[in-house]
């Protein structure tokens, strides 16, 4: 019996194939798979590529944890394409499979902050989510959110409403603009590019580490908003710890700001140690009746 776990996130896609007894067959990797950002065709092509790289064809059980599966409509769009991945295919939000990898199905909360953001809680009966409704309605505290706020700050400075600081000067170089018209053309005429706006968060982080007030304000507000939602979900699930993962949390400054805020509510912050793809593999294994066998070696390492 062949199992495949897939973690298809906003930045990259990973897949692992193994037998029910835990013998690994292969691994695969591909690009981003949040179809709200890159389109359904590109997202599913990356998923198929990652699965194909494992070396298996038509596996018996597949669990696909995918970013952007936030509504029934999302599931309806993805399911017909996902069902071609194997004989039996399970669809889950990528945040849930990453949480499952940490708790092995026990109650918990995980907060993801990368290009977008999501807070996922699970109490063994229900799943609770927050901050996960995409760049327009959600993604609070994410790289995209910070990039957008930084662009607004840059706009005010270029209009003469505020003074330029280190962050806005660095941003002009990052985006490659000199005038306000250049900025408008970059933002509107060249199309809405979620990944490029999210990339501006790197400038925000660098400027914040050097003490730029605007950058510090953006990072602090981002961390507070995401921490607020995380502690709310923790309260509903009944746990006092939040796992965190994602590129934004690689910033020690952001991690410390977030941890300070959750700590005020008695909730600890801990970095997620296990890859989300292991959660997908475990869920596929549970569906197949294999239990923890495919993960035993990985959990000991």
What are the pLDDT digits (tens) for 120-156?
999 999 999 887 776 777 789 999 999 999 999 999 9
Instruction: Let me know whether 264 and 151 are in one domain.
Output: yes
Confidence of residue 292 (pLDDT cuts 50, 70, 90): confident
Domain of 80 in residue numbering reads as 2-105+274-300
Instruction: Let me know whether 143 and 252 are in one domain.
Output: yes
Whether 61 and 88 have beta carbons less than 8 Å apart is answered as yes
Instruction: Let me know whether 230 and 296 are in one domain.
Output: no
> 114 lies in a domain?
no
**What pLDDT is recorded for position 90?**
96
> What's the token pair of residue 195?
């990944």
Instruction: Let me know whether 267 and 197 are in one domain.
Output: yes
Percent of the chain scoring above 70 in pLDDT: 97
**What pLDDT is recorded for position 258?**
98
> What's the token pair of residue 16?
């692992």
Instruction: Let me know whether 189 and 287 are in one domain.
Output: no
Instruction: Let me know whether 75 and 138 are in one domain.
Output: no
> 127 lies in a domain?
no
- What size, in residues, is the chain? 301
Confidence of residue 296 (pLDDT cuts 50, 70, 90): confident
Instruction: Let me know whether 230 and 263 are in one domain.
Output: yes
Instruction: Let me know whether 263 and 176 are in one domain.
Output: yes
> 238 lies in a domain?
yes
> Is pLDDT above 90 for 188?
no
Instruction: Let me know whether 242 and 280 are in one domain.
Output: no
Lowest mean pLDDT among 126-130, 167-171, 238-242, 280-284: 126-130
**What pLDDT is recorded for position 300?**
58
Q: Is 45 helix (H, G, I), strand (E, B) or coil?
A: helix
What are the phi and psi torsion angles at 14 (to 5°)?
A: -125, 150
Instruction: Let me know whether 184 and 290 are in one domain.
Output: no
Mean pLDDT of 73-79: 92
Assign residue 139 the CATH number of its domain.
3.30.420.40
Percent of the chain scoring above 90 in pLDDT: 73
> Is pLDDT above 80 for 190?
no
Containing 157, the helix (H) or strand (E) segment is: helix 143-158
CA max distance for the chain: 65
> 147 lies in a domain?
yes
> How do residues 92-107 score in pLDDT, each as one tens digit?
998 999 999 999 989 9
Question: How many structural domains does the chain have?
Answer: 2
> 115 lies in a domain?
no
Return the bridge partners of 24, or none: 18
Whether 136 and 109 have beta carbons less than 8 Å apart is answered as no
> 119 lies in a domain?
no
Instruction: Let me know whether 256 and 285 are in one domain.
Output: no
> Is pLDDT above 70 for 213?
yes
> 116 lies in a domain?
no
> Is pLDDT above 80 for 60?
yes
Instruction: Let me know whether 36 and 151 are in one domain.
Output: no
């Amino acid at each position: 019996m062949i199992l495949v776990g897939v973690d298809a996130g906003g930045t990259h896609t990973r897949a692992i194939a193994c037998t029910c007894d835990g013998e690994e067959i292969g691994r695969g990797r591909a690009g981003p798979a949040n179809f709200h950002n890159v389109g359904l065709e590109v997202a599913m092509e990356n998923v198929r590529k990652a699965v194909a790289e494992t070396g298996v064809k038509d596996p018996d059980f597949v669990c696909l944890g995918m970013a952007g599966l936030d509504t029934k409509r999302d599931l309806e769009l993805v399911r017909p394409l996902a069902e071609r991945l194997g004989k039996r295919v399970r669809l889950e939000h990528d945040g849930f499979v990453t949480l499952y990898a940490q708790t092995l199905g026990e109650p918990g909360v995980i907060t993801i902050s990368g290009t977008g953001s999501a807070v996922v809680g699970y109490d063994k009966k229900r799943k609770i989510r927050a901050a996960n409704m995409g760049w327009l309605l959600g993604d609070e505290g994410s790289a995209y959110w910070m990039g957008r706020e930084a662009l607004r700050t840059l706009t005010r400075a270029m209009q003469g409403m505020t003074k330029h600081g280190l962050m806005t000067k660095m941003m002009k170089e990052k985006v490659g603009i000199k005038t306000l018209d250049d900025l408008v053309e970059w933002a509107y005429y060249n199309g809405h590019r979620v990944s490029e706006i999210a990339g501006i968060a790197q400038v925000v982080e660098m400027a914040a580490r050097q003490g730029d007030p605007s950058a510090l304000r953006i990072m602090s507000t981002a961390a507070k908003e995401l921490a607020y939602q995380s502690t709310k979900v923790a309260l509903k699930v009944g746990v006092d710890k939040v796992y965190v993962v994602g590129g934004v949390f690689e910033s020690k400054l952001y991690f410390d700001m977030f941890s300070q805020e959750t700590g005020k509510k008695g909730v600890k912050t801990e970095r997620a140690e296990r890859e989300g793809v292991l959660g997908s593999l475990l869920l596929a294994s549970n569906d197949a009746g294999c239990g923890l066998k495919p993960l035993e070696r990985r959990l000991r390492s």
